[in-house]
Amino acid sequence: MIAELKKQIAECYAKIAAIQAECNHPKSALKQEYKSNTGNYDPTADCYWIDFHCTLCDKWWSEDQPG
């Protein structure tokens, strides 16, 4: 029974991944949050990124930004 449930879960995750891959993440459905890790002793260790969330397909991802 557990193995069958795990198989169903894997199939559902595959369907979600396919939907998210097909989504064009339109700007109207995209939320962005600019983040950083600054104030380090070594300024070259500071980093900046943007967290994205598509409210249409519920995909989350991050992209690095130049410092």
pLDDT single digits (tens) 12-58: 999 999 999 999 999 999 999 999 988 778 888 889 999 999 999 99
In a domain, residue 4? The reply is: no
Structural domain total, the chain? 1
Provide the residue range defining the domain that includes 56. 25-67
Does this model's pTM top 0.85? no
Q: By the 8 A CB rule, do 53 and 31 touch?
A: yes
- The CA distance from 45 to 36, in Å, is 11
- Please check whether residue 59 lies inside any domain of the structure: yes
